[in-house]
Every structure is written in structure tokens, then in C-alpha cells.
Structure 1
Amino acid sequence: MKKRSTLYLLVLLLLLGACSAEKEESNQKEEDQKKEEVVEEQQKAEEGTDPVEEVVDEELVARERPENLEEIVQFPIGVLGSEDTNLGNGSVEEVLNEIPALPEDASDKELQNLTNYLYSVFKMPYEDPKVSIEESSLNKPEKAEELASKEQYNVEIVLDASGSMANYMGSKTRMDLAKESIEEFASTLPEDVNLSLRVYGHEGSGSDADKKMSCAAIELVYESQTYNESELSSALDSFQPAGWTPLAQSIKEAKKDLSKYSGEEHKNVVYIVSDGIETCDGDPVAAAKELKVSGISPVVNVIGFDLAGKDEQQLKDIAKAADGSYVNVNNQNQLNNELNKTVNESLKWISWQSSETLDAIVKKSNEVIDMIAMENDWKNNLRKERNITTQSVYSLQYDDKISNEQAKKMVANVDEYYDKHNESIEELSTILMELSEENLDKTLDEIDKLYDENVQN
């Protein structure tokens, strides 16, 4: 089974990082094409013409389209990359109207630049397939007597309410999605679990003039108590995203909030949900270290909300300093899963073996559902991009900005591109399904082994 799993993973890595050889060949062709274009431009220069200015505006020479699934995820979302974009939208017509006409002798490179530009305009958001590439794992249980001494579970959520949380993810703001997830999470907690909610950066604005006030805006809006639907709802309605990001001080305040709960007698869990880095001159990594070594001994989970690059690195460092975990989520379902994960895995067990077995089976089912959803989402997005790009090409032809022959070349290129990526996501989904099946078997074996070693003894 190990050999098969390794083989699958190798194939998977080849899929995600594919096309390197193809790129070399493409680069060579591009070099040859550039040489031809240099000669062509020199000839036209002698005739007093500038092909770049006459053929394509420099802004339309877009970056190359991504060549594999990983690059598609990282490629910026287009200004019109949404589900309701269609050719009848005024925004689409405005973009197409700004595109200058191409001459009949436009080069293949110029046609490619125009195709790339259309892709960059309509490119939609994609969930990273690597989110699904996780081997099923099992938290080893503590000894029975240690679990019995954990009298109370206390959960605190430290939520970013800075101005960037007003940015949209689909049809809702990040803040709206976060609030909905917190409400759903709280409603599923066992009756004896305490929950508290602290927010930061929810006053003032992002201006320098408001920095001091905004950085001081750190508030415990829902004090530690069992779930109360109306009180939590009122607390969540009491703030909106506004200003700066005092992340370090918020972590320090969370430590104070939980200081009354000794780690020896309580299970303390801290969630830090943020879509940005510290902007109030604090040191959140140092604050995370202090939180970890405090007497509350918390389990720390850092959740990055739609992050990338240097912003994500700071949150990773915070999680590492607190000996906790970090994950970046890109949609509400992932946020819901991460909020539920730690508490559910940390609860006292009854009939540990049967419950863990059930969890493994449920996880396998959820993985399958997630993989099917991921594949369908990718295919739907690819289809929408393909349709709007093709329609745009024909619209340019109808407006006499490109010829019939040029339109045919561009449409053929678009069809080839999307056929290729449809095949890639189908193959990836098949491999993930097979890995998930093997991981379930492995997890069930581990459950039995841990039960025999730790529970029966």
C-alpha cells in the first residue's frame, strides 16, 4: 500500500508542477518568434511605423496565462472574474470597446497577447487543490486520568475587525462570512463549553489620524460563558470592520481573559482569525510566545483569511511561536471546518474507539464530498471563463477589430487551453479519491492500535 500511495503522490506532484518541459519548448518557440518580430519591427521602423503602438496598447500585453493548476490558483482574480459576468454587462462592453483593432497581418504573438489579456480580465477565483491533499490523521488520546481532570473547556476567538475585513469574498464581506461561521460554530458547542469573543481594530479608520484610536480598539464583546444565542448575536452586531490591526496586544488580552482557567484543570483553546499582519507596531510573535508559556497552556489555532505572501508568513510565525497550527482558508466552508476541528478533537471521549472510528468514516465521506465539490467548482469556473472569453472574441470580430481568420485562431487557442485544464483537474480528482480511500484504511488501523495500547491498558 505504501508503494501505491507513494506512486500516487509522485503523479500528483507531477500534475501540480507539470509542464516544465512543455515550458522549455514554448520558451524556445517564443525566442524564435521574438527574433522574427525584431526583424519585422526593424523593417517596419524603416517605413516609419511603430508596430507596438499601432497594433496593441502596451496595457493589453498581459502576463502569460498559467500553465498548471497551482499557477491558476496563484494567478490574480480578474476585474470581471465573477459568476454573473456576461457579454451583456456594461463593464464587459467597456473593456471590449477599449481594445484597439488589430491589423490583418497581426502576428501570432500579438493574437496571444490579446487572448492573455482577456484571460486576465475574466479569470475567476479557484480553491487550492492542495487543501484536499491531507492524510487522515488521528490525535493520540491523553491518558484517561488526565482527561478526567480536565473539568472545563474554554474557547476564545480573537477576531480581526480591521478595515480589510470589509473586502468581499464573492457576494459577502470577509467580516460577514466570519460572523456567520462564528455563530454556527458556537451553536454546535457542547452545553458546558465556555466561549468568549474578542475583536480588534473595529474603531476609527485606516487613516494615520485614526491610528492611535484604532490600535487601542480591543474589546471583549462576548465574555466567557456558555452559548447564549441572543447575547452572541447582539455582540456580533455591535461592531463592523474599520481600522488598523493591533494583533500583538489582542493576543496579550486573550491571555488575560483565560488566565483564570488553569491549564492543569481546564482545556483552553484560542483561535486567532485575521486577514492581515500587525500594523500597530506590536510584536505578535513575542506575544504568542508569552501565551504559550503561560499557565493556561492553550491550544492555539491561527486561521489566515484569504491571505498570501508576506502577510501569511507572519501568521505562520505566530502559530509556530505558540506551538500551534496555522491554516489559510479561502471560503466559508473551510473557515467552518477549522473552527470546529480543534474543539471537536479535544472533547472528552466516551467509547473512544467507536467515536473515533465514526469520525474517520465521516471524514472520509466529507473528503469525498469536498473533492467532488472542488472538481465541480473548477469545471464550472473553467467553463464560465471559456464561454465569456469566446464570446468576447466573436464580439471583437463583429466590431471589425479582428478578422474572421484571427478570431478562429484565438478561439482554437482558447479551446485547447481549457480542454487541457479540464483534463488536469479530472485526473487530480481521481488520484485524490484513491488516496482518500487508502488513508481511511490507515486511520482505522491506527485507531485500533491506539485503543489496544492506551485504552484497554
Structure 2
Amino acid sequence: MKKTLWMLFICSFLAAGCGKAEDVQKEKAKSQEEGANAKQEGETKEAWWERDPEFYEPQDLPRDLTENEQYLMRMPGEFSGDQYDGQAAVQKLKDLPTDLTAEQYAEAILKLTAEDYHEEVQKLIKFDPAVEASGERPDEEIEEPAMGGVHYAILLDASGSMNAQNKSGTRMEEAKSAIMSFIDVLPKESTVSLRVYGHEGTGSDEDQARSCISTETIYNGGKEPDDIQSALKEVKPAGWTPIGKAIAETRNDIPEDAGSAVIYVVSDGIETCDGDPVKEAKELAAEGVKPIINIIGFQIDNEAQKMLQEVAKAGNGEFTLANSRQDVEKYWQEEYQRLMDAWEEWKNESLKEVHNQQQELLKEAQDLGQSIMDKSQTEFQRAEDLQQALSQEGIQDEYDLTNKVWSILYDRQQKIWRYGYDTGNEKWREAYDGGNKVWREIYDEGNHKWQEYYHKKY
């Protein structure tokens, strides 16, 4: 009986031991399987140095990227710019196998150190070297300068008093001469009208009614001095002085498409036909083209001077007193001087603006190129440090291999540096040449216009 119990105890013990050993064996097999799976998973997962570099895809560029510019669209490395950490970068290098090629080592270094050039490259591609003065030329600033939309209306008093003798002929002869001097300096694009008033009948009471309704446009067209002079030759001093009616009728002489109008009234007396020239001037000045009415009082007395001053004021213009042809011509000379001053001011302001624009563009082009050059040098210095660390850490210690890695990194630096230098200089030169060209054009134009009116004045 004791023997039987002992045998049962031994069998139970052996059975328990056998089960435990089997469990250990299964656990070991499971662990080995999981390790194998983990190893396989690790082998299929791409290491950081094996990933292809990523590139920016710029939009809205005026042209396609060159091969070199596409190369510079590479996204920056992990430790580029202000993110650089030499120790952390060296630590990353310790992940590298010892059997990579020179190209693979160089690429791994760039994944850590490559700088970001894409903004500078895009700005250089979009760089616009155009320089332009924004100031309007004087012909859009003052009354007289050349502009297709300006109409010049001249109203000539042909009343009998204009037949009075003066130093170098009659008042009419001197007025005609002064008018032609003014016509000579008008721009080619100008339109001109010539209206006479009081040119019919006589100064007698019997002819007053006839004379006071007499106002006629004897020329209306482009600047044609010969045609205007021929029209003036036919004008003879005759009757009364309907200034108000002449001003009122002038609205019919201004072309519908005129942008503005300047009216010159040449008279040697007051209104003698019961008209209201002040009222007519005010109404005409309120017309759509808002003409300016300038009055030239030709050998007038105090009463006429006061009345004509009021007419000029109502017409938003100026009154000038003239006692001879020389005085009338002096008036025109003052107009010429205004033009000379305006063109001189336009020239000086425009040259200053062009110079400032040019300097800004030159600095922008230089800064963009220099930024690329500076970044390429920083990138190479850091890459060179990491390349040396490869050897010191024993990751890559073959002499030829080490030199080849260095050469790859150096060639990249030279390629990028050269792009920054050449492209920055190219854009700088475009801005320099373009600015100088515009500067010269403005200088020549301003001087030409100034001299044109200078010679007319003298």
C-alpha cells in the first residue's frame, strides 16, 4: 500500500514538472517570433537618411524654374538656420551605417544642414527692375502745357477804339502780333478758336444795335499758325464792345470732348452793349469743362480795368494790364516762365523719385543675392564640421571616401553661391541700367521742354 502511494506521488510530480517546462518552451518561442517580427518591421521602415528630399512647389511665377532653381527649391534640413545644434546633429550621424557611399553620406549630412533658399529664389525670379516716375507732367498740372484735351479760346476786341495808334502801330496790329506769338508756343495737339466781337457796323449810335450783336468765330481747329494769321488779317476795328455776348457765345467754340479750356479775352475797353460780362463769365466758368477766363486789358482806363478785373475773377482767371504790344507779349512771357518753372520742378522731382526707386531696387537685388551666398557658406561650414565628425566617430574613415564627401558638399556650396552672385548681379544691373535710362529720358525731356519755352520767351 505504501509503495502504491509513493508511486502516485512521483508520477504527479513528474507530470507537473513536464507541464512547466513546456510552458517555458512556448514562451521562449513566442518571444523569438515577436523579435523576428520586430526586426522585419524595422528593416522595412525607411531610415531618416534614406528618405528622398522634399521640394517646394512655388506658384504664380512669371516663368518656369530652371534646373538650378529647382535644385534650390529643396526644403531645409532638420538643423538649418537658427535651429542648428552641432551636438544633436553629430548624435544623429551615429545612426548611419558604415557601408554607405560618399553620395549617401553627403545626402545624410544635407538632411541635417541644408539651408532654405526658396524665398530668395522666388523673389529674384519675380524681381521687376522697372523704374518709373509717378509725378504727372506739367501739361496735366497747369493750364497751358501740351495736352490733347486742352482748348485755347482767344476773344479779340474788334471795336472801333482798337484802331487807335500806338507806338509800333495800331492797338489791333499790336494785339494780333502778340496773339501770334502765343500761338507759336502752343502744343501741336492743341485746339484753338479765335472769336472777334464788335467787328461789324461802326461806332455810331445808328449802328449800335447791329454792332452789339456782332460776334463771330473766325477760326476753330488745330494749331495752324498760317491759317490763324490769315483769319486775323481780315479783322478790322469797327463798332461797339459786346464783351458779355462774346463770352457767352464762346461756349459754342469749346469742343465737346475737351478736357479743359483756357479763354483769353483781349479788350481795350468796357462793355458798351448793355451786356453783363461778369454774369456771363461766372456762368461759363460753371460749365462742364470749367474753363478759366484770363483777361488782358489793352490800354484801358480805370473804369474798364475795374470791370475787367471782376470778369477775370468771376471766370476763375487772372487780369493783366497791358498798355502796348510789349506789355501783351510780357504777359505771354510770364505764361512761358510758368511753363519753364513747371517743367523744371517736374524734372527735379521725377529725377529724385527715379533715383530713390533705383537705389531701393539695387539694394533689394544685392540683398537677395547676398543672402543666398551667405546661407551657402553657413551650410557648407556646418556640413564640413559634420563630415569631419563622421571620421572622428569612426563611421566613415576611408581617406578617399572622406575626400569625396567633402568634394560633393563643396561643389554644392559653389553652385549655390554662384547662383546667388550671378543672379543678384544680373538683377542689380537691370535695375541700374533701367533706372539710368529713365533718369536720362526725364532729364532730356525736362530740359527740352524748358528750352522750348525759354526760346519762345526770349
- Bigger radius of gyration: 2
Fold similarity call, TM over 0.5? no
The two structures have a TM-score, normalised by structure 2, of 0.43
The two structures have a TM-score, normalised by structure 1, of 0.43
